[in-house]
Structure 1
Amino acid sequence: MNLVDFSGDAFLVAFFLYCFGFLFYVIAIAGKKWGNREPEEHVRRWSKIAFVVSSAGLAAHLTFFFTRWAGSGQIPTSNMYEFMTFLAMAIMIAYTIVYAMYRKPLLGVFALPLTIIIVAYASVFPSEVQPLIPALESIWLKVHVTTAALGEAFFAVGFAAGLMYLLRVVNFTEKTKSARRQQFWVEFTLGTILVIVGFIIVVFSFRAAGYEATFTQENVTIDSKGQQQTRVETVNYYMPPIVKPYNSQVESYESFLGMDKPLFEAPSWMNGVNAGRKFNTVIWSILSGLVLYGLLRLISRKPLGAVIHPALEGIDPDDLDEISYRAIVIGFPVFTLGALIFAMIWAEKAWGRFWGWDPKEVWALITWLYYSAYLHFRLSRGWQGLRSAWLAVIGFVIVLFTLIGVNLVIAGLHSYSGT
């Protein structure tokens, strides 16, 4: 067995240890009401077990990272699979640091699922080692990507604590207009998370079923001399095509639930790499997320926020607010170094300019400006508590769009990340 194969086994071990760590955190928090021991002793005992198991998962994850690096000869952050696995590992590192500072086991109930979801999301992409394109063969790949991801990992912990704060303080029994608005946006946030979970479920489901449809797409471009160039490309779908590529013809199609042809064609302005297929994936993700949310609502017979809220009773919301703020304070300078300063140095060396308005560059700047505004409002305007929590949650949604939406949907110099 070579090191790359061994790293894959270590990655699988890390995933299962994270799952067990999450379950032990749930037992620590939810089980204190029915445990035989005193509640404080129960929480302390199971929190220790959960932390040890999740730390073992982090150790396995680090093993995956370094053995894949040694086996491939290049740092494993060069494509979507490798970057998302590194981000998940960075979130666990950030969580471990924050947990060591505050010793709040409830944070693990929210941080571990986020890590698990990102690990599962990474597994959707091809895991084969891909050779680096020339622009990536630089020391700045290591410092830019790793520091940017670590900064985003602390933002993720801030998001987890901020979401916990909202679930703790939003009253799901009130019927006032303001309360209903708060309840709606909390549910919307939980639903957004379920869309990502739904995406993972449908990808693996159709992959297990071996589904595939093929289209031939005609692309017309104008070269530098003003001459029209036409090329025909094959586009493979691995989910039933609700939307087909623009200006394409069906080559092969497997019927699904009576749907024997795509419902409509992708618009012409969607000109990213495999834009039609990715748009189709977005539609499937939203549909599956809505179905998953509907099933959970049917089972619980109440809003998901109202189901989670009782588990947070007894938790001091000021502690959650402090954890969220501190995590973002730690992550902000790290993100500034990685996503802006190191990125601009690398861009100058790779492309001969510090800034080029590439979509990924623009959204990295938007993310940085957003968290700059967060810190400004927090420190200068006294925006704490509910306002601060909402800003932390919205900020990480922007981070996710920068990582997922920009990489996979919008064409640009960073499109190689979405292959």
Structure 2
Amino acid sequence: MTLLDFSSDVFIGAFLFYSVAFMLFTIAVMGRKWSGRKPEQHTARWGTIAFVASSVALLGHLLYFITRWIGSGHIPVSNMYEFMTFLSMMVIVAFTVIYAIYRTTVLGVFAIPIALILMAYAAVFPQEVQPLIPPLKSIYLNIHVTLAALGESFFAVGFASGLMYLLRTVNFASRERSDRKQQRLVEFTLFSILVIIAFLGTVFAFRGAGYETIFVRTNVTIDSPGQENSTIEKVSYKMPPIVAPYQGEIESFQPFLGLRQPLFEAPSWMNGVNAGRKFNTVLWSLLSGLVLYIFIRLLVRKPLGRALHPVMDGIDERDLDEITYRAIAIGFPIFTLGALIFAMIWAEVAWGRFWGWDPKEVWALVTWLFYSAYLHLRLARGWQGRKSAWLAVLGFLVVMFTLVGVNLVIAGLHSYAGTD
């Protein structure tokens, strides 16, 4: 067994231990009503056990990181697989810091799943070690990426505690217009999380089944007046094609549940043979997320927000508000150093300019401005409680678009994500 194989096995082990820790945190919170002990005693005991399990998993995760670093010869943050695995580790580091300060057991029920989702999302990408391209061969890679990820991990914990605050304070029994609006927004947030989970499940299900449909398209370019050059573009769909690429022709088609041809073709403005595949992935994510949402709704027989609301019983909402603020206050200067200051220094070294309006640079700035506004509104305008919680939730959505949407959808200098 090579060191990289050992690293991969340790990563899987860490994932399993995180899953066990999540279940233990759930027992600590949900089982307090049915245990023979006082609720506080039950929560404290099982919360400690769960925290020990998450700490053991974090040590395994750190071992994966070190062994992959040694085996690859460079810090493993150079593509989407490596960065997402590192970000998930940093989320647990941030959770560990916040938990050590506040000892809020229920935070583990919401924070650890974020790390699990990021780890599962990382597995979507190619896991082979890739040689570094010239711009990445710099010490500033280590500083820029690690600090940016650590800052974003505290934003993730702020997101978790902000969502918990909303679940704790929104009146799900009220029929007032303002309360109904809050209920719908919380439900939409939970639905968005389920879409991501369903997307991962769908990807792994079709990957395990070995599904593949291939389209080809003739791309004609004009090299000079009167001279055309034709090239054949080919794209492989790993999910059944609801939508075909624009002007794409079927080379091989694998039927699925009676689907023997695409339902429609991507519009002409979706230029590029891969645009249709990405649109198809979005449609599958929404459809599978809707199915999962409906299934859970039928299972619990009530909106998800209302179903989760009792979990927050006994939790001091002021503590959740404080955790949200502290997590973001810790993460913001770290993110500023990593995502802006050292990023600009690295840009000057690699590309000869501090700023170039690359899409990733722009969205990193948008993220920084958003959290700057959060801190300003919190400290100068007194935005606490529900307003603060919603900003924390929305801010992390901006972070995820910066990480995922910009890397995978928008082309730019940072588009070395390692996708296939």
TM range (shorter): over 0.9
Matches within 5 A, 1:248-259: 248-259=248-259
3-state SS of 2:417 partner = helix
Cα pair distance change 1:374/1:226, threshold 3 Å: farther
What is the identity, as a one-letter code, of the residue corresponding to 2:91? Answer: I
Task: Give the aligned partner of residue 263 of structure 2.
Answer: 263
Task: Give the aligned partner of residue 324 of structure 1.
Answer: 324
Cα pair distance change 1:226/1:237, threshold 3 Å: same
**Which segments of 5 or more consecutive residues in structure 1 lack a partner in the other structure?**
none
Matches within 5 A, 1:344-383: 344-383=344-383
Task: Give the aligned partner of residue 90 of structure 2.
Answer: 90
* CA displacement, residues 349-406 of structure 1 (integer Å, 9 cap, x when unaligned): 2222222222111111111111111111101110000000000000001111111111
What is the identity, as a one-letter code, of the residue corresponding to 1:188? Answer: F
Cα pair distance change 1:226/1:32, threshold 3 Å: farther
Cα pair distance change 1:221/1:164, threshold 3 Å: farther
* CA displacement, residues 82-112 of structure 1 (integer Å, 9 cap, x when unaligned): 1110010000000001111111111101001
- Kindly state the Cα deviation for residue 252 of structure 1 after the two structures are TM-superposed: 0.6
* CA displacement, residues 176-205 of structure 1 (integer Å, 9 cap, x when unaligned): 110110000000000000010010010011
What is the identity, as a one-letter code, of the residue corresponding to 1:177? Answer: R
- Kindly state the Cα deviation for residue 418 of structure 1 after the two structures are TM-superposed: 5.0
Task: Give the aligned partner of residue 403 of structure 2.
Answer: 403
Which stretch of structure 1 is more off in the superposition, 374-383 or 250-259?
250-259
Cα pair distance change 1:341/1:224, threshold 3 Å: farther
What is the identity, as a one-letter code, of the residue corresponding to 2:367? Answer: T
Task: Give the aligned partner of residue 62 of structure 1.
Answer: 62
- Kindly state the Cα deviation for residue 275 of structure 1 after the two structures are TM-superposed: 2.4
For the residues of structure 1 that align with 2:400 and 2:27, how far apart are their CA atoms?
Answer: 29
The alignment's TM-score, normalised by the length of structure 2, stands at 0.96
Which stretch of structure 1 is more off in the superposition, 294-303 or 261-270?
261-270
- Kindly state the Cα deviation for residue 60 of structure 1 after the two structures are TM-superposed: 0.4
Matches within 5 A, 1:172-321: 172-221=172-221, 229-271=229-271, 274-321=274-321
What is the identity, as a one-letter code, of the residue corresponding to 1:130? Answer: Q
- Kindly state the Cα deviation for residue 216 of structure 1 after the two structures are TM-superposed: 1.4
What is the identity, as a one-letter code, of the residue corresponding to 1:284? Answer: W
Which stretch of structure 1 is more off in the superposition, 60-69 or 359-368?
359-368
Matches within 5 A, 1:21-100: 21-100=21-100
Aligned 8 A contact 1:272 1:411 in 2: no
Supply the RMSD in Å over aligned alpha carbons.
1.6
Aligned length: 419
For the residues of structure 2 that align with 1:342 and 1:135, how far apart are their CA atoms?
Answer: 14
Aligned 8 A contact 1:279 1:409 in 2: no
* CA displacement, residues 150-176 of structure 1 (integer Å, 9 cap, x when unaligned): 110000000000000000000111001
For the residues of structure 1 that align with 2:96 and 2:290, how far apart are their CA atoms?
Answer: 33
- Kindly state the Cα deviation for residue 40 of structure 1 after the two structures are TM-superposed: 1.7
Percent same amino acid among aligned pairs?
67
3-state SS of 2:219 partner = strand
- Kindly state the Cα deviation for residue 300 of structure 1 after the two structures are TM-superposed: 0.9
For the residues of structure 2 that align with 1:332 and 1:224, how far apart are their CA atoms?
Answer: 51
Matches within 5 A, 1:160-171: 160-171=160-171
Task: Give the aligned partner of residue 142 of structure 1.
Answer: 142
Aligned 8 A contact 2:245 2:273 in 1: no
